[in-house]
Amino acid sequence: MFENMSKEEKLDLLEQISCNDDSIFTNYTKEILLLMDDPDPDIKLKAILASWDYPSIGMSEKLLDLAENDPDEKIRAKAIVALGRYIYELSYDDFGIDFGVEDMNEDEQKELDQYKKISNFLLRINKDSSSTKDERRYAMEALSFLDREEISHMIQKAYNSGDPLLKLSAIFSMGRSGMERWEKDILAELNSDDPMIIKEAVKAAGECGIKQAGKILRRLTYAENRDLQLAAIWALGQTGWDEGYERLQELAGTFGDEEIQACAQQAMEEWEVMNAADEMDEDLYENGELDLEDNNGEDHT
């Protein structure tokens, strides 16, 4: 299928697949799987990246094989990252899986079995001292979608390890988990001396919807570092902090900087969604239909 294509043509195709906005209607699973077997590591890596929007049991089996057996440690690490998609998908009800139900249909049972297989593999990789540091930390990041005490302990251990990369991955994992339990650590890292840590903490504050981070995030929307500024704008919208909306409006009206405008406009939309959800919860609580304390202090989103 790709015998007569040059490396550049294959990479261009994978770039088009990665940027495809119609993945629901156009399935490139076959092409991605074939290119994952390409002998060129650059093409393999690009194919792994492109797989994110085309989850399937067949795709996850291929990623598992690459993550465990590919001789290139970069390929193994990126395949582990891509397996995070399946932890995300299979940890929610999108696939109709209810772990307490015994009358699953055949497809649901296959998905549950695959979930167990992937999560057990990632847990093993994280605990295996022979795995590379990247493999261990990416396995933690992939698992962090799950609300399990074992994984929370894994994140805390990495955060306290004293290793800069492990700490960075731990903060990323805190944000991905969306758990209220990490608020104190994330807030503390917003004042870090390390720019990379600050940026990761900014994103984590947004993902966890930490309103207490609002003042710091608003200040960081003035940052000279553009990436940090954009991250702070996005996060400010995600928190739904009351006093953040005026700043987002100001940024959305910034002339001559379309990227800042677009980011602020999207952040305003997220801010409105967050506040609408909060108002709905308050109404349900007032009507006795919701117990706001019934979340065990875990899920803050």
The CATH number linked to 122 is 1.25.10.10
Measure the CA–CA gap between 95 and 111, rounded to whole angstroms: 8
Q: What is the pLDDT of residue 95?
A: 42
- CA dist 205 and 129 (Å) reads 31
> Quick check: helix, strand or coil at residue 241?
coil
- SS3 of 53-82: the string is HCCCHHHHHHHHHHHHHCCCHHHHHHHHHH
**Range(s) of the domain holding residue 164:** 29-96+111-177
CA 119, CA 97: separation in Å to the nearest integer? 15
* pLDDT tens column, 251-274: 999 878 999 999 999 999 999 998
Mean pLDDT across the chain, nearest whole number?
88
Tell me the two tokens of residue 261. 């405008």
Do the beta carbons of residue 202 and residue 191 sit within 8 Å? no
User: Does residue 8 lie in a domain region?
Assistant: no
Report which of 130, 129, 94 is spatially closest to residue 112, judged by C-alpha positions.
94
Question: Does residue 3 lie within any of the structural domains?
Answer: no
Q: How many CB atoms lie within 10 A of CB 288?
A: 7
pTM of this structure: 0.85
Question: Is residue 67 assigned to a domain?
Answer: yes
Per the structure block, which two tokens stand in for 215? 């003042």
Place of tokens 């990323």: 172
- Looking at the 3D structure of the chain, how many domains does it have? 1
Q: Is residue 54 part of a domain?
A: yes
CA angle (210 as vertex; 160, 139 as ends), nearest 5: 45
Determine the pLDDT at residue 282.
56
Asked, for residue 45, whether it belongs to a domain, the answer is yes
> Could you tell me if residue 170 is inside a domain?
yes
Inter-residue contact 154 to 165 (CB < 8 Å):
no
Using N-to-C axis directions, what is the helix angle for 41-50 and 57-69, rounded to 10°?
140
Does 282 map to a domain? no
**Amino acid (1-letter code) at residue 172:** F
Q: What local confidence, expressed as pLDDT, does residue 108 receive? A: 77
In degrees, to the nearest 5, what angle opens at C-alpha 161 toward C-alphas 151 and 126? 40
Residue 35 in tokens: 């290119």
DSSP-assigned beta bridge partners for residue 179? 299
Considering the domain boundaries, does residue 246 fall inside one? no
For the chain, which residues score pLDDT lower than 70?
22-24, 90-103, 277-301
